[in-house]
DNA sequence: ATTAATTTTTAAGCTTACTTAAATTTTTTA
DNA sequence: TAAAAAATTTAAGTAAGCTTAAAAATTAAT
C-alpha cells in the first residue's frame, strides 16, 4: 500500500473517537493537509478496494480490512517511537517526527524484530497503546485526564496525548514523563487550572495541558 | 528528493566502476528494472537540476551535487545495515532488504544518531565503506579478491561483494564473515578454484565466489 | 423557514514516474 | 564497410495523487 493510502486510513482511524463528523472527507483533508477534493477522490478509490465505506456526504468508515491496515501502520509507528526513545534517547517530538516516515517502510518482519527486542511492550513513550501483530489492542485504558483528578491524590502519568513540540519540551523540562509519579496539590475549578507536585517542584498547569495529560490512580 | 531519484543516482554511482558504458541509460534501466525510455526521461530531468551531465547517446555522469546525493543515500543504507546486523542479529540478506527501504526515509539527524551509537564505523557488515556526513570515504581499500591470493597464506575477510541471498546463506553457514580469518590452502589455477581452511573446515570455492570475496593480507 | 455559510462533490488540469511502439543513432559483425 | 543488431531517443499514453474552480448538497443562523 502506498504512503498516501496508509496515511489516509490512519487519519480516519485516529479521528474516529468523538464526533461522527470527524471522519468526513473535509476533516480528514484538514488533518492530512490536502484539499477536500483530493480526500473525496481517495475515499472513492478506497471504497472500491473495500478499505472503507463511502456514501456521498456521509462520514467515512473503515471496513475491517481498512482498520487492520490502519492498526498495522500505527503499530509500526509506535514500535519505532519506543525503539528510538530507548536506543537513542531521542525526545518525544523527535521520535514522532522520525516514526512518521519510518512507519511506511517497515516490513512486518522488522516490526516483529523491534517488538521482540523491546520485550513486546504494550505502550509507547507517549503512553499510546501498541497494537499486536494481529492489530489487536488488548489493554484496557483506565486512565483519566489530569483535569479530572482529585486534590491530595497521587497519580502515575500514563499518556501524553499530543504531537506538539512545545508541549513535549515543557514535559521533558519538568519531568512529566510516562510512568512518573505526580501529586495533585490543588484544583482551581474556577479558572480550570491544576497544581501538581513532581520531583519536589510545584507546577501550575492550565486546561490545554491537563486535558492531554492522562494519569492512573496509584490506589 | 524522491525515492525514484535517490535510486537513480545510487545506481549510477554504483555502476561507475569499470566500463564507462555501465552508466549509459540502458544499464541503469536494467539495474532499476525500468524501461530504457524511463531512464532517458529521468536523465534529462536530473540534468536540468544539475544532478548529472547528460549528452545524447553518452554515458551518464553524476555532478558533484549528484555524487553527494548518492553518497548520502549509500551512507544511510550502510548505517542501517550495520545497525540492524548488530542490534537484531539479522542476516546479510535481511539487512540489505530492509535497508533498501529505510534508506529513503531516514533524516540526516537520525543517520548521525545511528552512526554515533555504533561508534562511527567505517565499514558495514558486508565490508562496504560507510561515507561520512560529508559524503567522504576516507579509508583506503587495500583488499584483493580471493582469486588473487597465494597458497599457504593467511587472510582476513574484508568484503562480501554481493546482494545474493544464496551466497550470503552459504557464507553464514561456513563462517565466511567480515573480519574472520582464513587460510588459503590451494589455488587450482587450471579450473580457477580456491581451497581455503576456516574454523578447521576445508572449503572449495569456485570463481563465482572467489571473485566477490575480498580479503586483506595479515602481514 | 428561508437565507447564508459551509462542506462536499464534480470537473478539468497538473506533475511524477512510469509504459509501449516507432524512429533514430550507435555498435557490432560478417 | 555495409548490413544487421542493439541501444537510445522520441512520441504518445497511463495511473496515482494531487490542485483550483464551479456546482450541488448539507448545515447553521437569523
Residue for grid cell 561507475: B16
A102 and B105 in contact by Cβ < 8 A?
yes
Mean of pLDDT values over A76-99: 97
* Integer Rg of chain B from CA: 19
The grid coordinates listed for B91 are: 542476516
Phi and psi for B176 in degrees, rounded to 5? -80, 95
A106 and B102 in contact by Cβ < 8 A?
yes
Task: Say yes or no: A217 contacts chain B, CB-CB below 8 A.
Answer: no
Model pLDDT, residue A149: 94
Res B218 pLDDT > 80 = yes
Please check whether residue A129 is in contact with residue A71, taking contact to mean a CB–CB distance below 8 angstroms.
no
Q: Which CATH class is domain B72-139?
A: mainly alpha
Candidates A198, A208, A156; CA nearest to A173 is A198
What share of chain B has pLDDT > 70, as a percent?
Answer: 100
Model pLDDT, residue A19: 86
pLDDT tens-place string over residues B40-65: 999 999 999 999 999 999 999 999 99
User: Could you give the dihedral angle defined by the CA atoms of residues B39, B41, B42 and B46, in that order, rounded to the nearest 10 degrees?
Assistant: 130
Mean of pLDDT values over A166-177: 94
Per-residue pLDDT band at A17 (split at 50, 70, 90): confident
Mean of pLDDT values over A49-58: 95
What share of chain A has pLDDT > 90, as a percent?
Answer: 90
Model pLDDT, residue B141: 83
Task: Say yes or no: B117 contacts chain A, CB-CB below 8 A.
Answer: yes
Model pLDDT, residue A139: 83
Candidates B99, B205, B89, B104; CA nearest to B145 is B205
Model pLDDT, residue B19: 86
Domains A72-139 and A144-217 share a fold: no
Model pLDDT, residue A110: 98
Mean of pLDDT values over B4-21: 94
Q: How far apart are the first and last CA of chain B?
A: 45
Nearest chain B residue to A101, by CA: B105
Nearest chain A residue to B89, by CA: A113
Per-residue pLDDT band at B123 (split at 50, 70, 90): very high
The grid coordinates listed for B50 are: 544539475
| Whole-number average pLDDT of chain B | 95
Distance between CA atoms of residues B144 and B148, nearest Å: 7
Model pLDDT, residue B163: 86
Candidates B109, B131, B113, B125; CA nearest to B14 is B131
pLDDT tens-place string over residues B156-206: 999 999 989 999 999 999 999 999 999 999 999 888 899 999 998 999 999
Spatial strand order of the sheet with B201-205 comes to: B144-145, B213-217, B154-160, B181-188, B193-198, B201-205
**A41-44 long-range Cβ contacts below 8 angstroms, 24+ apart:** A42/A4, A42/A5, A42/A8
Among 2.160.20.60, 3.30.230.10, 3.40.640.10, 1.10.10.10, name the CATH number for the domain at A3-62: 1.10.10.10
| Whole-number average pLDDT of chain A | 95
Q: Which residue of B84, B105, B113 is in closest CB contact with A101?
A: B105
Element (H, E) at A30: helix A25-32
The Cα of B115 is separated from the nearest Cα of chain A by a number of Å equal to 11
Mean of pLDDT values over A90-118: 97
Model pLDDT, residue B195: 95
Res A219 pLDDT > 80 = no
Res B10 pLDDT > 90 = yes
Q: Output the CATH code of domain B144-217.
A: 2.30.30.90
Model pLDDT, residue A47: 96
Helix and strand counts by DSSP (H, E) for chain A: 8, 8
Question: Taking CB atoms and an 8 Å cutoff, what residues of chain B touch A102?
Answer: 102, 105-106
Per-residue pLDDT band at A18 (split at 50, 70, 90): confident
Task: Say yes or no: A95 contacts chain B, CB-CB below 8 A.
Answer: no
Mean of pLDDT values over B77-92: 97
User: Could you give the dihedral angle defined by the CA atoms of residues A198, A202, A208 and A214, in that order, rounded to the nearest 10 degrees?
Assistant: 20
A113 and B101 in contact by Cβ < 8 A?
no
Please report, for chain A, the start and end positions of each structural domain, with discontinuous segments joined by +.
Answer: 3-62, 72-139, 144-217
Amino acid at each position: 500500500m502506498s504512503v498516501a493510502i496508509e496515511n489516509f486510513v490512519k487519519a480516519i482511524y485516529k479521528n474516529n473517537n468523538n464526533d461522527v463528523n470527524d471522519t468526513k472527507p473535509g476533516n480528514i483533508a484538514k488533518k492530512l493537509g490536502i484539499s477536500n477534493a483530493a480526500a473525496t477522490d481517495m475515499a472513492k478509490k478506497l471504497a472500491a478496494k473495500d478499505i472503507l465505506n463511502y456514501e456521498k456526504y456521509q462520514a467515512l468508515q473503515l471496513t475491517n480490512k481498512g482498520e487492520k491496515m490502519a492498526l498495522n501502520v500505527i503499530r509500526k509507528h509506535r514500535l519505532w517511537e519506543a525503539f528510538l526513545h530507548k536506543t537513542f534517547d531521542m525526545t518525544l517530538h523527535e521520535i514522532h517526527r522520525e516514526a512518521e516516515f519510518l512507519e511506511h517502510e517497515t516490513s512486518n518482519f522488522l516490526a516483529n524484530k523491534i517488538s521482540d527486542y523491546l520485550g513486546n511492550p504494550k505502550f509507547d513513550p507517549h503512553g499510546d497503546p501498541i497494537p499486536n501483530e494481529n492489530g489487536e489492542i488488548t489493554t484496557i485504558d483506565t486512565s483519566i485526564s489530569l483535569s479530572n483528578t482529585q486534590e491530595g491524590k497521587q497519580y502515575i502519568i500514563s499518556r501524553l496525548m499530543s504531537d506538539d513540540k512545545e508541549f513535549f519540551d515543557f514535559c521533558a523540562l519538568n519531568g512529566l514523563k510516562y510512568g512518573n509519579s505526580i501529586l495533585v496539590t490543588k484544583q482551581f475549578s474556577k479558572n480550570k487550572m491544576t497544581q501538581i507536585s513532581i520531583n519536589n517542584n510545584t507546577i501550575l498547569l492550565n486546561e490545554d495541558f491537563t486535558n492531554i495529560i492522562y494519569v492512573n490512580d496509584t490506589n
